[in-house]
Copies of this chain bind each other. A is one copy, B any other.
């Protein structure tokens, strides 16, 4: 990590500020949907809160990820862009980067674990990117991506440890805050922390009275543990067993910095709560959410907002890419 000559400690990782997130919003606007915010009285009653669901399953590519990927791809210089982009991703970011690359007309390589859901592999290939399969470990994914970089000269666009990606994900909050007059809290699922970092930075700047809460599966609770300990405590190496396959990643130094500054707490939910919440959203809201998105719903249904006066709560439904033939109920 480069350090400035007059600073003995390593430089803090770069994070976008509100101006950078606003610039990202302008940059990606022609290429992404402004997704609707839906209400559901049945879920309001269960949560004891007035919920405002920001519906990223309706985003291009079926998840918020196209925001950050598009911002990163459009931020590349002409020459750099021509060599293409590469990433490793369990699914949604890979599809999003493939989509963003197609938008700009440049090649993309996506390194995916062999056990990624069929629908996510097909989406990546369908957007015209080259799928490179590897062992389902963090090490194998990073090493394979590095190899592709060496072979092609393509630019690596990490799925969350990248300020351009975080800025793009933060545009979710710009829209949500414009769509709902007042929010007491916003609840966001946490995997590697790109989404919650962007959202938390935007919310802290625009609505400092609005609390930002994370939501995490108990089987991949590194953000909750890291926040409690005040230092990065990644999920143990090896396979993390959660139905929320999009949230298996651990925070990076960069996203931990944003979470530590702006996130009040991270709510941890069980696998049973995730599946039950997913089923309720399908049944009552008619929105197809994937388990990773249901984690935020499970958090609001777990009683965190129980109190006298139901608060106004934004819930980010992060994506809806699921195998319809392999439902978890």
Contacts and interface: CB of A to CB of B under 8 A. Distances in A.
A327 B325 CA distance: 10
A60 B36 contact: no
A286 B320 contact: yes
A283 B58 CA distance: 11
A57 interface: yes
A298 interface: no
Given A62-B286, A286-B287, A288-B282, A324 B329 contact: yes
Contacts of A306: none
> Which 7 pairs show the lowest CB-CB distances between chains A and B?
A286-B320, A57-B286, A36-B36, A286-B288, A38-B58, A282-B324, A62-B286
Contacts of A282: 288, 324
24 contacts: A36-B36, A36-B38, A38-B58, A41-B60, A57-B286, A58-B285, A58-B286, A58-B287, A62-B284, A62-B286, A119-B283, A279-B324, A282-B288, A282-B324, A283-B324, A286-B287, A286-B288, A286-B289, A286-B320, A287-B287, A287-B288, A288-B288, A324-B327, A324-B329
A147 interface: no
Interface string A248-292: 000000000000000000000000000000010011111111000
A88 to B, nearest CB: 25
A231 interface: no
User: Which of A57, A119, A282, A286 has the largest number of chain B CB atoms within 10 A?
Assistant: A286
A104 interface: no
Interface in A287-315: 287-289
Contacts of A33: 39
Interface residues of A, number: 24
A64 to B, nearest CB: 13
Contacts of A283: 119, 324
Interface in A55-98: 57-58, 60, 62
A60 to B, nearest CB: 7
Contacts of A41: 60
A36 B289 CA distance: 17
A286 B57 CA distance: 6
Interface in A8-53: 33, 36, 38-39, 41
A287 to B, nearest CB: 6
Given A282-B288, A286-B287, 10 more contacts: A33-B39, A36-B38, A41-B60, A58-B286, A58-B287, A62-B284, A279-B324, A286-B288, A287-B287, A324-B329
A36 to B, nearest CB: 4
A290 to B, nearest CB: 9
A322 to B, nearest CB: 9
Nearest to A33: B39
A118 to B, nearest CB: 11
Contacts of A36: 36, 38
